[in-house]
Structure 1
Amino acid sequence: METRKRERRSKLVRNFNKTILMAIFGIAIISLVPCAFSLASASQPINIFSMDSHDQQINAGEIASYRWVLFNNASSAYLIHVSVNPLSDKDWHATFNKDFITLSPDQDETIILNITTSRTMGTKDLSFVVVFNVTEMSEPTNTYQITQNIHLKIVSLFGTRAGENKLFGIWDNFLPSPFDTNYGAFIFTLIGWIVIALVIAFIIDPIVHRFTRKTKTELDDRLLKIIHGPLFAIIVLYGIVNSLEILNIPIDIIATIELIYSISMVIIIVWLAYRIYDNILIYYAKSFAKKTEMEIDDVLVPLFEKIGMIIIPLLGFTAILHILGFDVTVIIAGVGVLGLVIGLAAQSTLSNLFAGLQLLVDRPFKVGDLILMEDGEVCEVRKIGLRSITLYDIFKHSNIIIPNNEIANKKIINIVQPDRKYKRSVTVGVAYGSDVKKVESILLQAALEHPNVLKDEEHAPVVRFEDFGDSALIFTIYFWVDDVRNQWKATSDIRKKIDEKFREAGIEIPFPQRTVWLRQLEKDTQTK
């Protein structure tokens, strides 16, 4: 038993000693790590961190970027000169955002290497050596170099299938000799595309037209008529380019051919888009606008037609500039600044434009309505445009053009709303002592006899004894005319009828008069 106890004790002691030794060893390692880092820092005071992969792949015409962050972990300032080898070629060139940088202690800077490639270059694998020459500014003799290797693969945009001797650029050439060469594949492919174009133009197109003629809508007929020519041109152009690319011709010639092909395709697509926009969208929009009573579509449809005439070719022009290698973002930014300048210069025009849209949406009046202006003029609305409104003065026989912003801020009375019936009145004075009931009867009879005066219960004429005037009893007859345009003739006719009936009845329409009593003069006469 004692022997076993001793063995257990010795085993525990050995385990404890091992644990103590491992703890001491771990502490020693941890304490040595800062020393290692400090030694490393002392050996290389400038740390360089790569932010991008050293192996990249881009298409020809694009820009490859490599970034490094440099950090000074020493106590002295350092000057770094960065260079790359090779620097340029006829198809590409390399540039740094900074060739020289100065780093103070604990300062960092970012170095960017941009490799710009040409759109017409072929597929290439490029290798570069980037050299960082580091010099301590306090000790110029203390210099060292850091080098990094980078790799860039550039994939050609043009002529990727050149010289492959494949029919239509897809299938291996199975033709017998002497047509088993690139030239044989070229001739066979070119003839094939011509046959495809002729089949579509003279066989498929008439068959499709035969089916579309049986449909009730003319949309399919109009669409086929529009796309017939452009589709044929697209097939012919693509067939020519596809055939030429089979030949093993220089990359610069292929690039020129595909550049012409791309520009031609943009022109065809822009022309096709405009034809569809104008002959289908605008056509049906105009047809719809004619069926509605709203003026907003009659104004907006021509506006969108003009906008399409500008926007669609402008987009095509932008696409062509992009194909030619211009930076479209700069052009768009310039157009944005130009638009801002034009907007500031055309504030009045834009104000009239939005006021016109407001008038078209709110519809306080429409074309053909009669409106009463603030100055008392009665005008007919002839045209509501986006910039101005055209009014016709029915009394002066003249057109008045008023900016929308101005008329939107004026008090306008639409005298044909809520309907074309209009209420008028005629005021007349009769001599004191006249028979009031007889006067009222004559006034009612004069209004009721007119054909344009409404006689139903809701709109029947009404006579009111308005006031005791200085020289007459004042009466007013209120009546409704059937149409606002008849108000002036009806009012004039009723005045004539009232005068005629008053004369027949012996009712006097007095003129203003005053009676003056000269009492002092009578007294003086009696005294004499």
Structure 2
Amino acid sequence: MDLKTMLKELLPFQANTWSFFLSSVVLTIAGTILLYIILFYVLRSIFRKFERDIALVTLNVSAYPALAVFILGVLKFTFHQLPSVKLIDGIENLLAAGLIISISYWLVQLFTQVFIYYLRGYTQETESMWDDVLLPLLEAVVPVIVFTLATVFVLKSFGVDLTGIWVALGGATFVIGFAAQGILANFFSGVVLLIDTPFQFGDVLLLENGSIAMLQKIGVRVTQLYIPSKHCNIYIPNSTLQSQNITNLSRPTSYYHYSTDMKLPIALNVKEAKHVMVEVIQAHPDTLGDIDQKLAQIDRYYQLEGLENQQKIGKLRLLAEQEVNLKLEEIAPALEALVVTLQFAEKGGMTNEEIENVQQEYREFLSAIGLEVVTEIYHNRSVFTLKENRSQDSLIELIRNWYRIYIRDFHLLDNDSSIITEEWERKINLLKRRVQRLYQKISNPQNEETRLDDYVMELNQWLRERFKEPRQKWQEPQVLIKGIENSDAITYVQFNLNFFVDDIRLENGRRGDRVSSQIYEEVVRYLKQSATEVIEPQANSNATITVQGDNS
């Protein structure tokens, strides 16, 4: 049998069928070339002019999958129109499978490279924790679901009867589920941890065994923690972690309470020693307390070689924070006055003149925080946006000046600078979004004019409680006398030094250890210089620095 006869048996097409097939192939090639030009030249040149890159990223991710889907889709349609023979049906099934795989791959790429990527940026700007921890779960699970469904449709395209497979999978699932109870328990525990959000990535945790760890990742089966004291990662099964009593040292704030024990001979001037201890704690730039008192003491202590730069940068940081606090104290009455204005204007409904007066008062508030209203004409409509005015006296610029001094601390590690910068830039972006939403409501009250005063009060409360919390009385250092102890015929007075360190997350969670050690050393050094006899820490095993698990 010659080749011509074989082709006639395999492809018994008439002349008009071949014409349809060839014309479809030509149209496919022409359409592919045209689509390629549109995707890689026309749309790309247009999207590059956009301010945000989401359109360009979506195009880059979609270009080749779109070409593949177009080619496979047209070819499948072409072969579907041809007479049904075994070879043609086989090719059509292959094209259908390729089309399903291409679409699945396209969807997964769009989900991971576009949706997840930009959603991750959005979650960093929100105050809620659930989206930060739920996002990795979606990133891991959704592609698996998509490819699993794609596999099912591919098998169906080849005419595979899935009834027996489903029955077999059902039995196998029961056996596997029984044999892998621990794995499933860890998986669902991980889901619960992600949804319940008792902590988020980067939080410092106190485990049941007393170890301090930093949360790095909640996986499908295990949770990854970093132990700063041993510079190693540990992996705890999710079910085990869920059953533990864990203290989150980073919540509700990153302030952390430390306690140091000391003892002095009772014959010494106990009152003077206690006064020195309080001043030494106040003089350390990394402890909390009244800023005025800290500035008054900061030049008196820690003047040894190697600590001058710490005190110098610390003083600049405290002065910068003081300016931020003063600006916030200036802004709070302005918002309170705006509330009074709104409450008066809301009676009987707000007129256009009253709305303009409220807008003007709100613009003054915006100027104080460093924003100005810019109006643009877009499609014959006035559209306003808020832009930074870059005033050095504004809240935003004072905040940036403060954290830029903060990250000059030579004790900070490489990743600490990014932690501080990202945290405050995130808060600044949250502030911008909040004040912009409120300006929209003020400009167009509609049915919410009676609630505008409530919105302003909420903003004022958020600034005070969530944006930057003012220094509190309970954060002041305390030196307590615990009791009296007799040792080697000498009576000692036991002191307990209590103070708060500014941020437990810094220096791999060991910032408090350094601060506590420096305070102890400075107290001993100063009392020695004052001719006060002090028992050295090495002289008695009880005179050691202890970290209490009390986070406030």
- TM-score for both structures, normalised by structure 1: 0.55
Q: Does 1:466 align with 2:488?
A: no
Q: Partner of 1:285 in structure 2? A: 115
Structure with higher strand content: 1
Q: Partner of 1:350 in structure 2? A: 184
Secondary structure of 1:407's match? Answer: helix
Q: Partner of 1:397 in structure 2? A: 231
Shift, 1:494, TM fit? 1.5
CA distance 1:430–1:307, shift in 2 (3 Å) = same
Shift, 1:240, TM fit? 4.7
Shift, 1:207, TM fit? 5.3
Shift, 1:237, TM fit? 4.7
Deviations 1:146-197 (A, max 9, x none): xxxxxxxxxxxxxxxx99xxxxxxxxxxxxxxxxxx8332343233323432
Secondary structure of 2:14's match? Answer: helix
Q: Percent identity?
A: 20
Asked if 1 retains the 8 angstrom alpha-carbon contact of 2:79 and 2:92, the reply is: no
Shift, 1:350, TM fit? 1.0
**In structure 2, C-alpha distance between the alignment counterparts of 1:208 and 1:460, rounded to whole Å:** 63
Asked if 2 retains the 8 angstrom alpha-carbon contact of 1:212 and 1:221, the reply is: no
Asked if 2 retains the 8 angstrom alpha-carbon contact of 1:422 and 1:482, the reply is: yes
Q: Does 1:373 align with 2:204?
A: no
Asked if 1 retains the 8 angstrom alpha-carbon contact of 2:68 and 2:102, the reply is: no
In structure 2, give the amino acid aligned to 1:302.
A
**In structure 2, C-alpha distance between the alignment counterparts of 1:482 and 1:421, rounded to whole Å:** 5
Q: Partner of 2:248 in structure 1? A: 414
Shift, 1:229, TM fit? 2.8
**In structure 2, C-alpha distance between the alignment counterparts of 1:204 and 1:304, rounded to whole Å:** 29
CA distance 1:183–1:300, shift in 2 (3 Å) = closer
**In structure 1, C-alpha distance between the alignment counterparts of 2:109 and 2:252, rounded to whole Å:** 39
Asked if 2 retains the 8 angstrom alpha-carbon contact of 1:289 and 1:298, the reply is: no
Q: Does 1:425 align with 2:263?
A: no
Deviations 1:397-426 (A, max 9, x none): 222111111011111111122222212122
Secondary structure of 1:472's match? Answer: strand
Asked if 2 retains the 8 angstrom alpha-carbon contact of 1:226 and 1:275, the reply is: yes
Q: Which has the higher contact order (CA 8 A, sep 6+)?
A: 2
- Tell me which of 449, 453, 464 is aligned to 2:287: 453
Secondary structure of 2:70's match? Answer: helix
**In structure 1, C-alpha distance between the alignment counterparts of 2:88 and 2:137, rounded to whole Å:** 43
Q: Does 1:236 align with 2:75?
A: yes
Shift, 1:209, TM fit? 6.5
Deviations 1:110-148 (A, max 9, x none): xxxxxxxxxxxxxxxxxxxxxxxxxxxxxxxxxxxxxxx
Q: Does 1:483 align with 2:314?
A: no
CA distance 1:387–1:440, shift in 2 (3 Å) = same
Which runs of 5 or more residues in structure 1 are unaligned? 1-161, 164-181, 246-253, 513-528
**In structure 1, C-alpha distance between the alignment counterparts of 2:502 and 2:534, rounded to whole Å:** 29
In structure 2, give the amino acid aligned to 1:351.
A
Q: Does 1:297 align with 2:131?
A: no
Q: Residues 490-501 of structure 1 correspond to what in structure 2 (within 5 A)?
A: 490-501=515-526
Shift, 1:382, TM fit? 2.4
Structure with higher helix content: 2
Shift, 1:205, TM fit? 5.8
**In structure 2, C-alpha distance between the alignment counterparts of 1:414 and 1:237, rounded to whole Å:** 57
Of the structure 1 ranges 402-411 and 431-440, higher mean CA displacement relative to structure 2 is found in 431-440
Shift, 1:441, TM fit? 1.3
Of the structure 1 ranges 384-393 and 448-457, higher mean CA displacement relative to structure 2 is found in 448-457
Deviations 1:234-277 (A, max 9, x none): 4335435634x2xxxxxxxx441343144223312222222222
- TM-score for both structures, normalised by structure 2: 0.53
**In structure 1, C-alpha distance between the alignment counterparts of 2:26 and 2:517, rounded to whole Å:** 83
Secondary structure of 2:254's match? Answer: coil
Asked if 1 retains the 8 angstrom alpha-carbon contact of 2:485 and 2:494, the reply is: yes
Asked if 2 retains the 8 angstrom alpha-carbon contact of 1:388 and 1:401, the reply is: yes
Q: Partner of 1:384 in structure 2? A: 218
Secondary structure of 1:487's match? Answer: helix
Asked if 2 retains the 8 angstrom alpha-carbon contact of 1:356 and 1:384, the reply is: yes
Q: Does 1:504 align with 2:529?
A: yes
**In structure 2, C-alpha distance between the alignment counterparts of 1:203 and 1:284, rounded to whole Å:** 25
**In structure 1, C-alpha distance between the alignment counterparts of 2:171 and 2:276, rounded to whole Å:** 75
Which runs of 5 or more residues in structure 2 are unaligned? 1-10, 125-131, 291-471, 505-509, 541-552
Shift, 1:282, TM fit? 2.5
Secondary structure of 1:464's match? Answer: strand
Q: Partner of 1:333 in structure 2? A: 167
Q: Which has the larger radius of gyration?
A: 1
CA distance 1:208–1:439, shift in 2 (3 Å) = closer
